Amino acid sequence: MYLGVGCVRLQVMKVCGVGVPSAEETPMTPLPEVEELVEAARAGDAAAWDALVDRYLPLVTAVIRRLRLSPADADDVNQTVWLRLVEHLDRLREPRALPGWLATTARNEGLRQIRRRARDLPVDPGGSTFDTAEVSDPGQALVDDLKSHALREAMSELPEKRRELLLMLLADPPVSYDEISARLGIPRGSIGPTRARALEQLRSSRALRGWAHEAPALPGGGFDVFLD
């Protein structure tokens, strides 16, 4: 799962997967910086590459999914995006722009597949040429997917117990308050206040503050800035 990257690091410190009682106020080891991972992957470190994949695959998958491609086409686009990143690693000047670069590359390759399919079909002079099955505002869709990515990064900044609490509250089917209380070792009555504190911490996380800083510069369709 996504947060596995942090977990791998924790594993090195032999505390992975177990909620340490004092963990609530102790931030987990932060995710490695993108720059570190890109640098290590450039040097041939396959584990760093895997960590990059784990970190950005949900974003790439979400962008591809919006285009409603056939499973085979979606797989081709996914594979092409990662192969492109491999060949692009040495040229990547600004690793922080990576989410935007990946989202834009996935979308452009997906649109290329749609056009290729459309060309294979007989042209209907009276009808629309092809249906991308897209939402009406593709620029906004990219912004939404990038925001979701920022939220996942923000979650990884939270102390383990707070993150666990939020994940349990989001679980479907829902986890009962009694179970949350038992699993986290906190009284039922403090679940609500803890949730409020966790969300507050999320809002002030580095990832979301960075997002708030970048988002105004991302008008719908203005994603050319990410292309090389």
Partner 1 sequence: MSSSTDDEGLMEELARAMGQVTDVPDHRREAARAAFSWRTIDEELLALTHDSLELADAAVRGALDVRTLGFETDGLSLEIEVDGDRVFGQVLDAEVDEVVVESVDDGSRTTPVDSSGIFSVVVPAGPVRFGVRVDGLLRRTPWIVLVPGPQTG
Candidates 93-101, 105-113, 135-143, 178-186: pick the segment binding partner 1 (CB under 8 A). 105-113
Name the amino acid, one letter, at 17.
G
- Residue 65 interacts with partner 1 (CB under 8 A): yes or no: yes
Return phi, psi of residue 93, to 5°: -80, -35
- Residue 227 interacts with partner 1 (CB under 8 A): yes or no: no
Count of residues interacting with partner 1 (CB under 8 A)? 64
Distance CA 77, CA 106 (A): 7
Q: What is the DSSP letter of 224?
A: G
Contact 20, 184 (CB under 8 A): no
Q: Which two tokens stand for residue 195?
A: 């949730």
- Residue 68 interacts with partner 1 (CB under 8 A): yes or no: no
Q: What are the angstrom distances between the C-alpha of 51 and each of 41, 48, 112?
A: 10, 5, 28
- Residue 176 interacts with partner 1 (CB under 8 A): yes or no: no
Candidates 56-64, 135-143, 177-185, 210-218: pick the segment binding partner 1 (CB under 8 A). 56-64
Q: Which two tokens stand for residue 127?
A: 């009808």
- Contact residues for partner 1 (CB under 8 A)? 1-2, 41, 44, 46, 49-50, 53-54, 57-62, 65, 70-73, 75-80, 82-87, 89-90, 109, 112-113, 115-116, 118-119, 121-123, 125, 129-130, 145, 147-149, 151-152, 155, 166-167, 169-170, 195-196, 199-200, 202-203
